[in-house]
């Protein structure tokens, strides 16, 4: 498994770049730059492309509604070029609170739009004269819309690669099926290594059955809070509050993807209690109501022995890349978490190599 880190939304660019350079020296493989209603991801990714040499750089995630499909393709090609072929395009629908509340764009047809955007991106990277007639995007604009002066155009520059890897952040069954069918990578949030197959197995199988032979096997990239040691009570409390925000507050009642996921993992009564408390404004109580078992199952929080067992479970579940989210978010804390997980993975690899 490869190791990655996510740059904090609120990170100051110069400080973040210096830290990523340091993490690269400590063996990190991938750096993901998220984008919410923060500074855009592209500016920092371009900066990191100049500051780093070997790490893979990925957007996690570029929202599908905030850019046209062709701008997404142009941006990905530019980032891939300036990084020397080290960029991977991570996309996702985000949520209606951000899309409609910050961008002022209707949150509609996320599934259909995602598929069409991927098709358009790949056509742009192949430098085809772009003509596309889909349900959601028509390029050029059809007759009767706009000035009528639009004509098919091809990207002027030559991309380094015509198949820049694309990963999708998805958790709904139809979106996961789409991911397995057309994407290079999958970014599920709150990944439970031993129960994920129960939730997503059928969707992954349906998508894989229709997957093009031109695509390599789907990579699975997951985010995990990290705190290693014998005393992890503070780390558990911190992570409980984070989980409570998503399970309880990310979406209205009945429209919360993360609450539904916790229910699918077998924690429905707990998820309902977390949501009720959170929506009532009792956030501290909501955090306390998040089951410890759920937190430990979806994190790397605990002793080295526990972490090793979790890594075994993640490997068995087919995880390709671990995006580490150190609870100690200081530079030293992040480096320490990376080194500790790297050491456990190395010890595990040596044990497997010697057959014991």
**What are 129-132's contacts with CB under 8 Å, separation 24+?**
129/153, 129/154, 130/70, 130/154
pLDDT at 350: 76
The angle subtended at Cα 184 by Cα 66 and Cα 3, nearest 5°, is 95
Arithmetic mean of pLDDT over the chain: 95
- Read off the pLDDT band of 245 (50, 70, 90): very high
Which residue is it, tokens 């993807």?
A: 257
- Read off the pLDDT band of 356 (50, 70, 90): low
Cis ω for the linkage preceding 336 (within 30 of 0): no
pLDDT digits (tens, 9 = 90+) for 61-81: 999 999 999 999 999 999 999
Residue 325, token pair as written in the block: 């989210």
- Read off the pLDDT band of 95 (50, 70, 90): confident
Contact status, residue 290 vs residue 247, Cβ threshold 8 Å: yes
pLDDT digits (tens, 9 = 90+) for 271-294: 999 999 999 999 999 999 999 999
**pTM for this one?**
0.94
Among 254, 309, 298, which residue's Cα sits nearest to residue 276? 254
Quick check: 236 pLDDT over 70? yes
The H helix count followed by the E strand count for the chain is 14, 12
Quick check: 354 pLDDT over 70? no
């Amino acid at each position: 498994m490869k190791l990655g880190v996510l740059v904090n939304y609120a990170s100051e660019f110069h400080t973040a770049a210096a830290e990523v350079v340091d993490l690269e020296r400590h063996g990190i493989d991938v750096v993901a730059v998220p984008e919410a209603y923060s500074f855009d991801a592209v500016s920092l990714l371009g900066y990191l492309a100049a500051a780093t040499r070997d790490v893979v750089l990925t957007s996690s995630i570029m929202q599908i509604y905030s850019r046209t499909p062709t701008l997404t393709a142009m941006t990905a090609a530019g980032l891939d070029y300036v990084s020397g072929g080290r960029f991977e395009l991570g996309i996702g629908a985000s949520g209606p609170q951000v899309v409609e509340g910050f961008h002022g764009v209707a949150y509609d047809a996320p599934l259909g739009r995602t598929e069409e955007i991927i098709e358009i991106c790949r056509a742009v990277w192949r430098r085809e004269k772009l003509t596309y007639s889909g349900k959601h995007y028509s390029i050029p604009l059809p007759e009767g819309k706009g000035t009528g002066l639009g004509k098919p155009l091809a990207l002027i520059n030559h991309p380094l690669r015509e198949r820049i890897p694309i990963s999708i952040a998805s958790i709904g069954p139809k979106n996961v099926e789409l991911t397995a069918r057309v994407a290079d990578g999958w970014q599920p949030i709150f990944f439970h290594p031993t129960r994920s197959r129960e939730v997503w197995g059928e969707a992954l199988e349906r998508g894989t059955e229709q997957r093009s032979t031109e695509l390599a096997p789907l990579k699975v990239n997951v985010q995990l809070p990290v705190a290693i040691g014998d005393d992890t009570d503070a780390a558990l409390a911190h992570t409980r509050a984070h989980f409570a925000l998503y399970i309880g507050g990310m979406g209205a009642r009945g429209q919360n993807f993360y609450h539904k996921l916790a229910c699918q993992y077998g924690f429905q009564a707990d998820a309902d209690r977390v949501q009720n408390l959170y929506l009532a404004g009792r956030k501290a109580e909501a955090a306390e109501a998040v089951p410890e078992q759920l937190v430990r199952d979806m994190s790397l929080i605990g002793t080295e022995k526990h972490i090793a067992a979790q890594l075994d479970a993640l490997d068995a579940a087919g995880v390709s890349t671990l995006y580490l989210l150190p609870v100690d978010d200081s530079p030293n804390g992040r480096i320490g978490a990376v080194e500790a997980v790297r050491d456990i993975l190395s010890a595990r690899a040596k044990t497997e190599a010697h057959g014991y």
